[in-house]
Amino acid sequence: MWLYAVLALAVLWVAVWLWRDSLVIDKVSNKYVFVTGCDSGFGYVLCKKLERHGFQVLAGCLTQKGADDLQRGTGPNLKTILVDVTDASSVKMAMQWVQKETGGKGLWGLVNNAGRSVPMGPTEWMRTEDFHSTLRVNMMGVIETTLAFLPLIKKARGRIVNVASVLGRLAANGGGYCISKFGVESFSDCLRRDIHYFGIKVSIIEPGFFKTAVTSLEPIEKELHRLWNQLDPEVRDSYGEKYFEKYIKLQRFIMNTFCDPDLSKVTNCMIHALTAKYPRTRYSAGWDAKFAWIPFSYAPAFIVDSMLSAVLPRPAQNHVWS
């Protein structure tokens, strides 16, 4: 009897959740959304979809070529501006431009999408400036942009959508990428709890591995060679040439095997966060995120450590102490 009651409650809960999750806002044609990192990848696809959806789209691109490519084939509801999220003056100019474009209506959506992945590699290969180069974009860029645009978001009682990663839940490689994405997760949680009183919703997108500029093999391998060549001879010898070769092969295998070309799995989550009446706090985009990375992030550390040790190459001077 109790079992049937529990099952009935579970089915009812799922049905209510699905109904609530399907509710959407109306009158999107008078709502403005500003997106960073629109030269390619998720940002590029998202802006085109938002325009077709009826939003007034304001796209922040890093390069003029990226802005021109995005503008091509779109209508008057999509406008672009050049913005570097690591430059406070550039972010301020973008905010003032958005303020003028919105005509005092406020900004419905801010999507912090700009990001970079390199340099990444074994932690000992990094220098402090290697960490800074990634943290400035992925974490400090998100904070800088959010704080600059927050008054406009408050005016519209709008949405903030921050792009983190499954590697913001489970640190799988050295360098600034995982650190920055953990930072985005933490910043977003603190922000959501601080400003929900103003009717603002904050959502976090946690993509798995997708085929974008961030996962492009050419810059990843180029940076790995740079890191390897800048090592002191003693450190390089402790790893050995075979370690380096295997590490490169591992990156090729991961990026060629697991990167999903269907970017809509991520952009659909972003659109839901902007259009749903009750947006989710977190969106895990991609099958690998849902069924591998996120579940693994709840596993005991020794299990994750053992799994990664089984995959990663071993240094030449391999001393494991019990």
In tens, the pLDDT along 194-251 reads 999 999 999 999 999 999 988 999 999 999 999 999 999 999 999 999 999 999 999 9
Torsion angle defined by CA atoms of residues 266, 268, 274 and 277, in that order, rounded to the nearest 10 degrees: -130
**Cα 207–208–209 angle (5° rounding)?**
120
Mean pLDDT of all residues in 272-278:
97
- Mean of the per-residue pLDDT values for the chain? 94
**Domain map of the chain by residue range?**
27-209+261-287
What is the SS3 assignment for 97-149? HHHHHHCCCCCCEEEECCCCCCCECCHHHCCHHHHHHHHHHHHHHHHHHHHHH
Residue 9 pLDDT more than 90?
Answer: no
CATH of 27-209+261-287, one of 3.20.20.70, 3.30.70.20, 3.40.50.300, 3.40.50.720: 3.40.50.720
Mean pLDDT of all residues in 295-311:
92
Can you give the pLDDT at residue 322? 43
Residue 319 pLDDT more than 70?
Answer: no
Q: What percent of the chain has pLDDT over 70?
A: 98
Mean pLDDT of all residues in 281-299:
94
Can you give the pLDDT at residue 208? 95
Residue 1 pLDDT more than 90?
Answer: no
Residue 320 pLDDT more than 80?
Answer: no
Residue ranges with strand state E in the chain: 32-36, 56-61, 78-82, 109-112, 159-163, 201-207, 282-285
Can you give the pLDDT at residue 318? 67
Catalytic one of 32, 44, 177, 283: 177
pLDDT tens digits, 12-38: 889 998 999 999 998 899 999 999 999
Q: Do the beta carbons of residue 250 and residue 311 sit within 8 Å?
A: yes
Residue 321 pLDDT more than 80?
Answer: no
DSSP 3-state assignment of 308?
A: helix
Taken in order 270, 144, 106, 81, the sign of the CA dihedral is negative
Position with higher pLDDT, 183 vs 320: 183
Q: Is 177 labeled as catalytic in the residue annotation?
A: yes
**Residue in the block written with tokens 């921050």:** 162
Look up residue 252 and give its DSSP letter.
H
pLDDT tens digits, 92-110: 999 999 999 999 889 999 9
pLDDT tens digits, 103-143: 988 999 999 999 999 999 999 999 999 999 999 999 999 99
Band the pLDDT of 74: cuts 50, 70, 90.
Answer: confident
Identity of residue 21: D
